[in-house]
Structure 1
Amino acid sequence: MIEHIVLIKHSSTTTEDQKQELIRRTLALKEVIPGIVDIQQGVNFSSRSQGYEIGLTVRFKDRDSLEYYGSHPAHQEIVSYLKGIGVEDRIVVDFEI
């Protein structure tokens, strides 16, 4: 299995409603993209976040599923939405479990 972790730092103009919409859209990907075993996303509450406000974890069956996810049109729509609402930085980590 593959664990995909993303941390997102939004711009100062991103609203709370936009963040919640991002989460809603992202969680819906499990019903659309084959190979997703589990998906979780939420707003960070820790003071140790160094400004990263949203965390995402996606568990995939295998590396091929991760690759398919990356280019899938539904995922690309999320990426476009994220860019549109303002992203200052993001960190991505992928590893096998």
Structure 2
Amino acid sequence: MFHHVVLMGFKRALSESDQAFIVRHCELLKSVVPGLIDMRLVANASKRSPELTHAIVAAFADAQAHDFYQTTPEHEALSRFVGDIKTQLVVLDYVV
């Protein structure tokens, strides 16, 4: 299984509409990307890295599914949205 974690910090607190946009795109991506098992927005509960407030956490069947996900218009739209409001973004990919 291929895991994709995107840790994010933002210029301002995420509004309900910001969160709804991200959640909607996670759900949309699950419907259009074969091999995307789960994808969700989570809030960071740790006090050790307060500048990273949220993460998108995804699990793919394999690296090929992840590679396909990266090319979709839905991923591009989500990336643009996050890119416009982020201050930090850290990506961690790993295979288990």
TM-score (norm 1): 0.84
Alignment length, in residue pairs?
Answer: 95
Percent identity for Structure 1 against Structure 2: 23
Partner SS for 2:42? strand
Separation in 2, partners of 1:87, 1:34: 28
Task: Answer whether contact 2:25 2:74 (CA < 8 A) is retained.
Answer: no
| TM-fit CA distance, 1:80 | 1.2
Q: Which runs of 5+ in 2 are unaligned?
A: none
Runs of 4+ in 1 over 3 A off after TM superposition: none
Q: Which runs of 5+ in 1 are unaligned?
A: none
- Backbone CA RMSD of aligned residues: 1.7
Residue in 2 aligned with 1:91? 90
Name the amino acid aligned to 1:5: V
Deviates more, 1:51-60 or 1:23-32: 23-32
TM-score (norm 2): 0.84
Residue in 1 aligned with 2:82? 82
Residue in 2 aligned with 1:10? 10
